[in-house]
Amino acid sequence: KYNPKYNELYVTNFTSGTISVVDATKYSITREFNMPVYPNQMVLSDDMDTLYIGIKEGFNRDWDPDVFVEGAKERILSIDLKKS
Q: Please state, in angstroms and rounded to a whole number, the distance separating the CA atoms of residues 57 and 84.
A: 32
* pTM of the predicted model as reported, rounded to 2 decimal places: 0.78
- pLDDT score for 37: 77
Evaluate whether 6 touches 83 at the Cβ level (below 8 Å): yes
Please name each of the domains of the chain with its CATH number. 2-80 (2.40.10)
Quote the radius of gyration of the chain (alpha carbons, Å).
Answer: 14
Q: What is the pLDDT along the chain (84 residues), one digit of tens a residue?
A: 999 999 999 999 987 889 999 999 999 999 999 988 788 899 999 999 999 999 876 655 566 666 666 677 778 999 999 963
- pLDDT score for 47: 98
Evaluate whether 77 touches 55 at the Cβ level (below 8 Å): yes
What b/e sequence results for 14-33 when a residue is b if at least 16 CB atoms lie within 10 Å of its CB, and e otherwise?
eeebbbbbbeeeeeeeeeeb
- pLDDT score for 43: 96
- pLDDT score for 78: 94
